[in-house]
Amino acid sequence: MLSGKTAVITGASRGIGRAIALKMAQNGANVAIIYLGNDSAANEVRAQAESCGVKAEIYQCDASSFDEVKSTCEKILADFKSVDILVNNAGIVKDNLLLMMREGDFDKVVGVNLKGAFNFAKHLSRSIMKSPAGRIINISSVSGMMGIPGQANYSAAKAGVIGLTKALAREFAGKKVTCNAVAPGYIDTDMTASLSEASREYADTAIPLKRMGTADEVANAVIFLASGLASYITGEVIKVDGGLYM
């Protein structure tokens, strides 16, 4: 489905990003795996991707750093020559109620989740625009659509990702590049493993499908948007949330 294409996936050493990177490789795409700190996890994803018969490389990078992303993108383009697909998945949470939230925790979450998406789109867009089927796919969250108590920073950042998605969809449409967002709900990953028992019980009762989603289910939506099946879809937000937000 994606044979011969090159995909860049941020936050790809674990969770949703890992699932997306491996699903891309399984569908024939070469993958640039961006990660922050876990070398062994990144190398494991690379090895699994390479077992699919594609080219895979890893790049350590702080998505919130404009200059670091610029340097990393230059390395990616030197290694792969071109990029067709960008998946902005890198994200962190630093939850707290507003009255107790520190400025640094707000800035860091917005820096990684929102500015990180801007940084990679900024530095890779010229290459993506040259692709016959360029795709930018941003991972937002239902938190950015409905607001979650204790997540003022995360909700604001993920709402910003949706706004960024729609702006880029309009800017790049003339170059036949589509830009869409995927908004996961409660997904069973390392990030949600730290949820309290009360929060997990709330999720089970609040989600109409009565379970958390899997990283693979989010990855499936990303693969669809990256493929030719979604060539006439742009500026959209696809929720993968079991019906949590309707």
Q: Residue 130 is part of a domain; what is its CATH number?
A: 3.40.50.720
Which pLDDT tens digit goes with each residue over 94-107?
999 999 999 999 99
Query: Which range marks the domain in which residue 118 is found?
Result: 6-186+214-240
Mean pLDDT of 8-35: 98
Question: Per the structure, how many domains does the chain have?
Answer: 1
Which pLDDT tens digit goes with each residue over 114-143?
999 999 999 999 999 999 999 999 999 999
Residue 48 lies in a domain: yes
Provide the token pair at 94: 């630093």
Confidence of residue 204 (pLDDT cuts 50, 70, 90): confident
Q: What angle do CA 152, 122, 127 make, to 5 degrees?
A: 140
Mean pLDDT of 54-72: 98
Of 103-117, 190-204, 228-242, least confident by mean pLDDT is: 190-204
Residue 174 lies in a domain: yes
Q: What's the rounded Cα separation, in Å, for the pair 222 and 70?
A: 24
Residue 167 lies in a domain: yes
Residue 246 lies in a domain: no
Residue 193 lies in a domain: no
Which pLDDT tens digit goes with each residue over 28-60?
999 999 999 999 999 999 999 999 999 999 999
Residue 7, Cβ neighbours under 10 Å: how many?
29
> Quick check: 194 pLDDT over 70?
no
The continuous run of DSSP H or E covering 226 comes out as helix 215-226
Short-list 222, 217, 64, CA closest to 137: 222
Residue 207, Cβ neighbours under 10 Å: how many?
18
- For residue 179, the model assigns a pLDDT of 98
Residue 134 lies in a domain: yes
Q: What's the rounded Cα separation, in Å, for the pair 120 and 65?
A: 10
Q: Which residues are catalytic?
A: 154
Residue 13 lies in a domain: yes
Residue 10 lies in a domain: yes
Task: Specify whether the CB–CB gap between 169 and 206 falls below 8 A.
Answer: no
Where does the chain show beta strands of DSSP type E? 6-9, 30-35, 56-60, 85-88, 135-139, 178-184, 237-240
